[in-house]
Amino acid sequence: WPGSAQRVDGELALGGVGAAALAAEYGTPLFVLDEAEFRRRARDYKEAFGGIGADVYYAGKALLTKAVAKWVHEEGLKLDVCSGGELSVALAAGFPAADLGMHGNNKSEAELVRALEAGVGRIVVDSFDEIDRLERLAAERGLKPSVLVRVTTGVEAHTHEFVATAHDDQKFGLALSTGAAERAVRRLIDSPHIDLVGLHSHIGSQIFDTAGFEVAARRVAEFLARIHTELGVTLSELDLGGGLGIAYVPGDAPLTPKAIAENLVSIVSRECRAGGLPVPRIAVEPGRAIAGPAGVTLYRVGTVKDVEGIRTYVSVDGGMSDNIRTALYGAEYTCVLASRVSGAEPMLSRLVGKHCESGDIIVNDLYLPGDLRPGDLVAVAATGAYCYSMASNYNHLPRPAIAAVRDGASRTIVRRETEEDLLRLDEG
């Protein structure tokens, strides 16, 4: 079980609260977020990187609510937002704007204006069009934002192609190989309205080996050194993005923040010293590695259908609207019977949702107890990242609530959507 839950008298307990009590109080499907586990993971990152003078920005795209933003702030992390919506949540939570970083390959004018006016600490620019836009908006307001250039390092991260972001043929960043990154840097150095402070690189997500991170770090550090020598400009910041993988199923062996922190810093330091420039302040942006393992989804079983000779289809009360990752990336998950223990023979099963398509699969292949029946609760592990944040209302399913658990107590941090919420948007 790749999470923090434990069995108490046969029942799964999350943050010390039993699955049945949670389901009874909040209904299902339910996202349960273990606050202590989230904070512990944030702290691990902070200790690994903060100890060597680096900044940690939690990537809000993994999961962002006002409570989450407060935990992130209390643990001493900064916060990366990538849309006006995420920015609103951060500001509504009282997150200091100076500790926010803003991403996005197509930030709208309105989003840039909000970031400028709120005083967002770092804006990561991703295209020449955006540089033009930001320069004009900053000039109009007499502001001079601190900016990083997102650089594409040409690294092929070993992960699903939809979440690999540093090879040349994808939409993010400005390529080192074509000279686009250098042209952007030259442009920004000359800009009277933008303060170019550094470079940014993010190679992808759910990565298990250090090689890709290291190659990317070396390439951006070399580029930093070249800017120093050829353009006579010393940039003081280097953001190396997120991407650390987590365990979803037995056998997944994630790296620890500590394991990458030392390597990255020594690579960057070596390159910079060789280039004769001061070592920049390093930043990282973990999302999944903090939020993922802290979350569990509780579902109630509705039907158990034996397709004879093949497998048993176990249908639950959510599905691809609360977890699109299996359908989208072929993601794997671990699921257990949560409301009781069973000694029944395991049966080959597929955990599916209630949506109107056969691709609505949560766990493709798993063994569940042979006596599973309607009314049982099942728990899917490691759903804290990119599940609620990617949830939809497909088939007009209201999105689940998020309950935070800690020390045997629980509270709603995002309430369950209702059909009235959905109808309220429909103007007839």
- Asked if 104 touches ligand LLP (CB under 6 A), the answer is no
Catalytic residue among 272, 335, 356, 387: 356
- Asked if 127 touches ligand LLP (CB under 6 A), the answer is no
DSSP 8-state assignment for residue 135: H
Q: Which residues ranging from 64 to 93 are in contact with ligand LLP (CB under 6 A)?
A: 80
- Asked if 242 touches ligand LLP (CB under 6 A), the answer is yes
- Asked if 62 touches ligand LLP (CB under 6 A), the answer is yes
Minimum distance of ligand LLP from residue 369's CB (angstroms)? 29
Minimum distance of ligand LLP from residue 253's CB (angstroms)? 16
DSSP 8-state assignment for residue 158: S
Q: Which is nearer to ligand LLP, 93 or 124 (CB)?
A: 124
**H runs (alpha helix) in 46-190:** 66-74, 84-92, 109-118, 128-141, 180-190
> What string marks each residue from 7 to 46 as x (binds ligand LLP by CB under 6 A) or -?
----------------------------------------
Cβ atoms 120, 99 nearer than 8 A: no
Q: Which residues ranging from 333 to 352 are in contact with ligand LLP (CB under 6 A)?
A: none
Minimum distance of ligand LLP from residue 394's CB (angstroms)? 16
Q: How many CB atoms lie within 10 A of CB 373?
A: 11
Burial 78-116 (b: 16+ CB within 10 A, else e): bbbbbbbebbebbbebebebebbbbbbbebeeebbbbbb
- Residues making up the annotated binding site are 243, 285-288, 325, 329, 357, 386
Minimum distance of ligand LLP from residue 329's CB (angstroms)? 6
Q: Is 356 a catalytic residue?
A: yes
Q: Which residues ranging from 364 to 393 are in contact with ligand LLP (CB under 6 A)?
A: 385-386, 390
Contact residue for ligand LLP among 206, 312, 321, 410 (CB under 6 A): 206
Comparing CA positions, the residue from 325, 335, 406 lying closest to residue 366 is 335
3-state helix, strand, coil in the chain (%, to 5): 35, 25, 40
Minimal CB distance residue for ligand LLP: 242
DSSP annotation string for 304-340? EEEETTTEEEEEES--TTT--HHHHH-----EEE-SS
Strand arrangement of the beta sheet that strand 11-14 belongs to = 6-8, 11-14, 17-18
Minimum distance of ligand LLP from residue 123's CB (angstroms)? 13
- Asked if 289 touches ligand LLP (CB under 6 A), the answer is yes
Contact residue for ligand LLP among 46, 103, 114, 354 (CB under 6 A): 103
**H runs (alpha helix) in 383-425:** 419-424
Say how far apart CA 267 and CA 362 lie, in whole Å: 40
Q: How far from each other are the two terminal CA atoms of the chain, in whole angstroms?
A: 46
- Asked if 285 touches ligand LLP (CB under 6 A), the answer is yes
Amino acid identity of residue 387, one-letter, is C
Positions that interact with ligand LLP (CB under 6 A): 59, 61-62, 80, 103, 163, 202, 205-206, 241-244, 285-289, 325, 329, 385-386, 390
Catalytic residue numbers read 356
